[in-house]
Chain A
């Protein structure tokens, strides 16, 4: 996937133009995970939506699998900070929603019902929710809901997984568990991952490349390859190399914030 000189402007309801992104050019090799970090409002979520085709670039182009993105891509997994499960469906039926949509749309990649169900149950097992398939979302804790939301993003085995601060609402311990879980899922399935996060440790743990963004206009300010071999451990993350990388990125983000404050 590659982004060439991507720019995006929002026009607000009172006709002001907000330059959310400018001159973003990056390449994301297939099967790798990249992370975007940066101050609030620097256009991270916007970038994710441009990649998914939910927004259309006002400048430049996004190319996925050799084709320019013009409308919503049809086979992408997405998860957000808010798990947005459907409260009237059981956990299992929530997971099966993407497959229902694919089936209705005649997507040849749709597994049959039995296979889809098996896939959902296997995913639930991987995230430690076996036996929860018939429970209602409201009966789950926040962390459990987030895991279901992640499973829903993976059930159709997307080639592209887009995550917008998926673990931000979780407590520190659950979050670390989720990182390890996510890493395990990534080792099983070869998806290209794009992660937006506020948590620098999360970025270091999960991404092969980290893009530090700056604001006004939103742009890429620094690029950091993360060289630890995969799979990674929390020990490495909190070791000297990890800590040093995090410190460096924090310094890159912080002066800008103080200057604008």
Chain B
């Protein structure tokens, strides 16, 4: 690992540990009730004690997130290609898409529960609804911003629209597509946790909701930390994938 990378990891880690220490010291010093705000050591104990259930619920959240995310990537790609390739489709769908995206998705959860009941299905669907927009928009932008000169060069060679799409449109959209994945996976994660919190019987969101209703503050915080770790991990994985796959878009 290079010095720059060590620095990039070590500095935020140092600050994080520092904050935990301040927190640890502040709880007794300010005489805060652990039931209101447990110290980090208490949260850690709760995580270790409940490791089994936490692992189960974390896996559940991960699976619903990834299913919703996968579906969102598929539909986002299709929709993005359609919007980017055709001005008519763009004019027809883009405003609708923007309008749809401005609905707070949490408001849709009760409807999903009404249709599909409590469980994993609303979580998957909420994840999907949150995640497909960034994918679709990025793919569409990538296609629509094709330089007109390049299009002219290719058309003057007898290239069909389909050839231009394949040889130029798709590859030049890839950096934007992969950039959208890390945003989309985070959105999917938010979506499934929101849904789990109000309408599920599994998942970290559910675990936290139950812990909170039992006034098990330590476990609720434990869930929060697990969520944070999962969120960072998911984002990180796709950020790395992005760098690997589309290096040419960043080297300059």
Contacts and interface: CB of A to CB of B under 8 A. Distances in A.
A87 interface: yes
Contact of B156 (A73, A84, A86, A138): A73
Given A80-B149, A82-B149, A104-B163, A54 B249 contact: no
Contacts of B248: 87-88, 136, 138
Interface of B is mostly: helix
Contacts of B159: 101, 105
Interface stretch (B42-50, B54-62, B165-173, B178-186): B165-173
A107 interface: yes
A156 B154 CA distance: 12
A138 B17 CA distance: 41
B158 A74 contact: yes
B114 interface: no
Interface in A60-76: 72-76
B229 interface: no
A52 B156 CA distance: 6
Given A49-B152, A101-B163, A101-B167, A84 B147 contact: yes
Given A54-B152, A101-B167, A138-B251, A107 B147 contact: no
A130 interface: no
B155 A105 contact: no
Contact of B158 (A77, A97, A101): A101
A100 B157 CA distance: 10
Contacts of A79: 153
A91 to B, nearest CB: 13
B214 interface: no
Interface in A72-121: 72-80, 82, 84, 86-88, 97-98, 100-102, 104-105, 107
A214 interface: no
A162 interface: yes
A134 to B, nearest CB: 14
Nearest to B164: A101
Interface in B226-252: 248-249, 251-252
A35 interface: no
Contact of A86 (B160, B172, B251, B252): B172
User: Which of B147, B157, B167, B251: most chain A Cβ within 10 A?
Assistant: B157
A153 interface: yes
Q: Give 5 closest A-B pairs by Cβ, nearest first.
A: A74-B158, A76-B156, A84-B150, A80-B149, A72-B155
Given A97-B154, A101-B157, 16 more contacts: A49-B152, A52-B156, A72-B156, A78-B149, A78-B153, A80-B149, A84-B147, A86-B168, A87-B172, A88-B248, A97-B167, A101-B167, A105-B160, A138-B248, A138-B252, A153-B153
29 contacts: A49-B152, A52-B155, A52-B156, A53-B156, A54-B156, A72-B156, A80-B153, A84-B149, A86-B168, A86-B171, A87-B172, A87-B248, A88-B171, A88-B172, A88-B248, A97-B154, A98-B157, A100-B167, A101-B154, A101-B157, A101-B159, A101-B167, A102-B157, A105-B158, A105-B160, A105-B163, A107-B158, A136-B248, A136-B251
